[in-house]
Structure 1
């Protein structure tokens, strides 16, 4: 192994971002069985720490070496306009959904009322026979076809 271990003041000192990336680069080069553990021992880092750094690098928490300084996480002006537009569209769609649900509810109640009126009319007028429950057309079988 020709990797130079970065000097630290003590075992509790932290590695810099560049040192972490250099250590991870060397760690990735360890391909032989047991070489990664040997590398961790040589550097003086626990294998859990290396795994944590690898995970942070994969999720983007360990910032890139090319990006010096702080990243700007604030929204840009275009993104703010787009967000406002999407939120407004979301409110419009929520209102449409509420109106549609209310209409379906009203239609259901109207259907139940008409059904009750038909049953009531049949009960009071002896000439009207009891209405048979109607099956929707798409549920009725076609002549000549047998259902399984």
Structure 2
């Protein structure tokens, strides 16, 4: 376990709400059979107490007697349930994916802008170098125009 066990002055002292939440975060990570009971023994509380804290947290009513006495009670609107935490993680992942998609789209727009400017410059330079041919007679095709090989005629 990489978890730092919260300390109490004695068995009569209460855990703060922050300590309870830290223990419950570790409780959520316990997946193996018997690991939740092992965590409860390591912290020095009963497994029923730990499951009671879990239920209180899920209901949004987890608090501590020591916080109430010291005036450090966490307001109800600041508490997050497990489902709220899962939703937050899901939304953060979705937000990261959308940011990556936005960056990719912005890069594509930038490339398309540069390509458009390049094509416009190429078209402009092509029209500037095209030779201008004059029509001999307006409306008369060149093959109908007589060709004079002898200038004296």
Sort the TM-score into its range (normalised by shorter chain): 0.3 to 0.5
Q: Output the TM-score relative to the length of structure 1.
A: 0.42
Higher relative contact order (CA 8 A, sep 6+): 2
